Amino acid sequence: MENNAILKTENLNLYYGGNHALVDITVGIRKNRVTALIGPSGCGKSTLLRCFNRLNDLIENVQVDGTILFNGRPITGNDMDVVDLRKRIGMVFQKPNPFPTSIYENVAYGPRVHGIRDQQRLNAIVERSLKDAALWGEVKDRLHASAMSLSGGQQQRLCIARTLAVEPEIILMDEPCSALDPIATARIENLIHALKKKYTVVIVTHNMQQAARVSDCTGFMYLGRLIEFGETGLIFESPRAELTNNYITGRFG
Backbone phi and psi for residue 241, each to the nearest 5 degrees, phi listed first: -90, 135
In a domain, residue 134? The reply is no
Please tell me the predicted confidence (pLDDT) of residue 77: 87
- Span 158-177, pLDDT tens digits: 999 999 999 999 999 999 99
Which range marks the domain in which residue 243 is found? 5-99+168-249
DSSP string, the chain: --TTEEEEEEEEEEEETTEEEEEEEEEEEETT-EEEEE-STTSSHHHHHHHTTTGGGGSTTEEEEEEEEETTEE-SSTTS-HHHHHHHEEEE-SS----SSBHHHHHHHHHHHTT---HHHHHHHHHHHHHHTT-HHHHTT-TTSBGGGS-HHHHHHHHHHHHHTT--SEEEEESTTTTS-HHHHHHHHHHHHHHTTTSEEEEE-S-HHHHHHH-SEEEEEETTEEEEEEEHHHHHHS-SSHHHHHHHTTS--
Residue 212 in domain: yes
What's the pLDDT score for residue 3? 62
Residue 1: its pLDDT value, please?
42
pLDDT for position 253: 67
236: domain CATH number? Answer: 3.40.50.300
Backbone angles phi, psi at 7, to 5 degrees: -135, 130
The one-letter amino acid code at 193 reads H
Determine, yes or no, domain membership for 220: yes
Query: Which stretches in the chain have pLDDT values below 50?
Result: 1
Distance CA 101, CA 118 (A): 20
> Does any domain span residue 147?
no
Q: What is the pLDDT of residue 4?
A: 80
The total number of structural domains that make up the chain: 1
Question: Would you say residue 79 lies in a domain?
Answer: yes
On whether residue 84 sits in a domain, the answer given is yes
- The model's pTM: 0.95
Q: Is residue 232 part of a domain?
A: yes
110 located within any domain = no
Closest CA to 27 of 3, 55, 7: 7
